[in-house]
Amino acid sequence: MNTIAVQLGQKLFEFASKQDWINRGQRIWRVHRATDGRALAIDTKGRICQMGAHFSRAENDGSYPISVYRVQPDDKLNGADLDMTDDALFGPEYGAAVG
């Protein structure tokens, strides 16, 4: 196994468990605009998690939480320009269901 040191950008969020990843995964990546290779998920053993099998492996060997970081330290996208409305976070049906 090769080990290298890398410089990552801002920590965006983390998944506490595989079930947390299942429940929040699709939305939270979009909310943080962490798609298209702009973010990297890393378990507590330092392994990159890119697909379901990786999240399952982390569940099986106790490597949660999995933290998600911006790939580039100088990425200009930060929390100030994120849409944190209920529609953005939960979808437009959320407001209709509770309002």
Has residue 91 got a pLDDT over 80? no
Going by C-beta distance under 8 Å and a sequence separation of 6 or more, which residues neighbour residue 61? 45
Range list of β-strands (E), 1-99: 11-15, 39-42, 66-70
CB 7 within 8 Å of CB 73: yes
pLDDT tens-digit profile of 34-81? 877 889 999 999 999 999 999 999 999 999 999 999 988 676 654 444
β-bridge mates for residue 67, sequence order:
14, 42
Per-residue confidence (pLDDT) for residue 43, from 0 to 100 = 97
Count of residues in the chain: 99
